Amino acid sequence: MSKLRVNAFTLSLDGYGAGPDQDLQNPLGVGGESLHKWFVDTCTFREMVLGQDGGTTDVNEAFAARSFENVGAWILGRNMFGPIRGEWPDDSWKGWWGDNPPYHVPVFVLTHHKREPITMEGGTTFHFVIDGIHSALEQAKAAAGGKDVRVGGGVATIRQYLQEKLIDEMHLAIAPVLLGTGENLFAGLDMLKLGYICSEQVATPLATHVTIKRA
């Protein structure tokens, strides 16, 4: 049965999934790049994002590789697609990742403003959903063809799906970094009342990997 998953989503020790002041120069917010040291040297990152060989083959790589297994569609918040706010000024912005994004499946981007789908190289097509998280999930599950749907972020998008108890499984990588401000994933959420438990925890020097599932 298709699951709604969060994978390889990195948080700071104080719970922030991105730094403040996200823009073109700081796509992860100020200081946000420091969260992802565990990921950027893995074989999976080098292959899927950079198109390069090599990389680490340790525990961090195992979690990175798992994050792409059995994924048939993605859901992204608009900030994960780009730094543009408000109405789309034109069709020139096609995401952070160049002509061949690392998704290779349909991607559903939450937005308040209409835009035609964008077909990219490698099997990625961005669809823009203006009628909310439930519609995005319905469309993503249909496109996934029985495989899982992965919520790529950002924090606000994950929080919306958590509040509706729709996420089945969530892998978080807790980086040994303090950001102090930004977007906090768990602020105001009672994860126990929402029905979630911690099912796995593995520590490495660069991150503590935690898996949370619905009880």
pLDDT tens, residue by residue, 39-93: 999 999 898 777 778 888 899 999 999 999 999 999 999 989 988 888 998 889 9
Judged by DSSP in three states, 161 sits in helix
Phi/psi class of residue 118: alpha, beta or left (left: φ > 0; alpha: ψ in -120 to 50)? beta
Task: Write out the two tokens for 46.
Answer: 């080098």
pLDDT at 174: 97
Residue 23 pLDDT > 80, yes or no?
no
Architecture of the structural domain at 4-85+98-190: 3-Layer(aba) Sandwich (3.40)
Task: Write out the two tokens for 214.
Answer: 């619905």
Q: Name the band, by pLDDT with cuts 50, 70 and 90, for residue 97.
A: confident
pTM summary value: 0.93
- Beta-ladder partners of 110: 77, 129
Tell me what the mean pLDDT of segment 112-117 comes to. 96
Distance CA 191, CA 145 (A): 30
pLDDT at 94: 92
pLDDT at 91: 87
Q: Which of 42, 10, 47, 18 is nearest to 171 (CA)?
A: 10
Task: Write out the two tokens for 213.
Answer: 């599932």
pLDDT tens, residue by residue, 190-202: 999 999 999 999 9
Torsion (CA) 128, 134, 137, 142 in degrees, nearest 10: -90
Domain ranges (residues) in the chain: 4-85+98-190
